[in-house]
Chains A and B, each alone.
Chain A
């Protein structure tokens, strides 16, 4: 049986070492500023975006995409924690204490789910005036945002873990993880709608799990849960499960 208590203690420690001014600026201020500046700047270029049966203002479209983007971004934390723990000897120290590798992995997932959920909630709250015209707020909205935060945390957290266990030098780690996440961010439906994109790009959009995540959250906010969105949810769960198993295997094999 997995004990909860050790996981909570590790989460406490993870949050203590991760939350600092730099992180807060990157994780919370930047997305908010971006929503307002970019959202309104682009309104001149992009009139409205069709989503489901609705037409959304670009700022509303962008703000909802930013929630998914931010969930993905908060999972960087997990990669950084694992990376730093290996570099500064804390991984071995924790593993020689009253913890197992499963505790360690789960605590990272919980940490990023908490950070993801918190920043998602914050952006939703601050973005609310932007969504106002088209929002269909209901219990489903909350459930889908929670779903997105948790499944997104597992999925992208596993990707970050896999990268951090595979690399030795810190430059390599930063370059690769930023490249992967930047690619995920821009080749997704977070910033632009798939409608109107050229066919090859549209295909790439839907090879990218962030597009699914963003679609699901938008569906929650604008009340457009279709069969397609449910398929996306199932795909996201499957992918998150596979990546989680791989990440766990790699972390378990990590030698000292």
Chain B
């Protein structure tokens, strides 16, 4: 089922086109990652999809409902953690969760139970009685994200939820989110600048730049499509003259002698090159000690795609 669908979605501010004719189709039951440089339009799209602002042009359908016609119905079924902090300064962390559940009309017993579960899942035990005003930025962010799980929802928007979180808290959150998607069929719309995070968490990724979507695919497909210059290293026992001359015909590889004899392949089609080289190594009876591939990371792909689109 389609969870989010937009057609020609556009949002103009006085002098900027923040979102420029975006067509999105997002299936339910996945984590959909949304990447793009500062000012690309990520937060604006989240505000449009959560009905906080209305588009200048185009159509939005969320959970099968037209956002112009049924904004309140949509909001009842979604959760949102916006990019900017949001908290009740005078309430304790625990009371914030509790009251938020009340605002969402969650039964008192369930509220109590969920508060306890979330305090433990987000490691808030030590700060549960502290006032929100007195918390550190990262602690506040954790409460803000935890709070959203006080209510039931079908679709959750997270706008850079891990900003300010330490590595342990970050990993804990990512695993918690994965668990939620697996167990409750929740769909998550997730923006981040941390590409390793997107790679770890997301089933599909869209890359946006200047308000336009420039690529949508799974992380591995993106790598296949844009992951140029994959590097493969073949550690060999010795380098003979015969091997040198035969390899000199293959442009995409080079031989290194230090610290140990190695053939390095650098190519967009490194697998094909590898086949040819393995044949030569066989012919020259060169023994292979070890073989390693250095995977391209999403960060390089991101920089390349955004660079190309500029």
Contacts and interface: CB of A to CB of B under 8 A. Distances in A.
B136 interface: no
Given A5-B105, A88-B88, A13 B99 contact: yes
Contact of B103 (A88, A97, A100, A255): A97
Contact of B89 (A88, A96, A98): A88
A12 interface: yes
B90 A89 contact: no
Contact of A256 (B47, B87, B102, B104): B47
A178 B99 CA distance: 30
30 contacts: A9-B105, A12-B99, A13-B99, A13-B103, A16-B91, A16-B95, A16-B99, A84-B89, A88-B85, A88-B87, A88-B88, A89-B85, A89-B86, A90-B88, A92-B52, A92-B82, A92-B86, A93-B80, A93-B82, A93-B86, A96-B50, A96-B51, A96-B80, A97-B75, A97-B103, A97-B104, A98-B75, A98-B76, A99-B72, A256-B52
B72 A90 contact: no
Contact of A89 (B72, B87, B103): B87
Interface in A237-256: 255-256
Given A12-B102, A97-B75, A256-B53, 12 more contacts: A6-B105, A9-B103, A10-B103, A17-B90, A93-B80, A93-B86, A96-B52, A96-B82, A97-B103, A99-B75, A256-B47, A256-B52
A22 B208 CA distance: 49
**Which among B82, B87, B103, B105 has the highest number of chain A CB atoms within 10 Å?**
B103
A97 B84 CA distance: 16
Contacts, number: 65
Contacts of A94: 103
A13 B103 CA distance: 7
**Which among A94, A95, A98, A255 has the highest number of chain B CB atoms within 10 Å?**
A98
Interface string B61-99: 000000000001001101010101111111100010001
Interface of A: 5-6, 9-10, 12-13, 16-17, 20, 84, 88-90, 92-100, 255-256
Interface in B114-131: none
A84 to B, nearest CB: 7
Which 7 interchain pairs have the tightest Cβ spacing? A89-B86, A93-B86, A96-B80, A98-B76, A96-B50, A89-B84, A256-B52
B82 A20 contact: no
Interface residues of B, number: 25
A20 B87 CA distance: 17
A13 B87 CA distance: 13
Contacts of A100: 72
A2 B77 CA distance: 19
A13 B147 CA distance: 15
A177 to B, nearest CB: 19
Nearest to A90: B86
Contacts of B53: 255-256
A88 B131 CA distance: 14
Contacts of B75: 96-99
Interface in B227-258: none
B33 to A, nearest CB: 20
Contacts of A96: 50-52, 75, 78, 80, 82
Contacts of B90: 17, 20
A10 B104 CA distance: 10
Interface string B152-182: 0000000000000000000000000000000
A104 B156 CA distance: 23
A253 B104 CA distance: 25
Nearest to A10: B103
Contacts of A95: 52
A242 to B, nearest CB: 27
A88 to B, nearest CB: 6
A92 B84 CA distance: 10
B30 to A, nearest CB: 21
A6 B91 CA distance: 20
Contacts of B104: 97-98
B103 A17 contact: no
A97 B52 CA distance: 10
B122 to A, nearest CB: 17
A176 to B, nearest CB: 21
Contacts of B88: 17, 88, 90
Nearest to A16: B99
Contact of A98 (B84, B91, B105): B105
Contacts of A90: 86-88
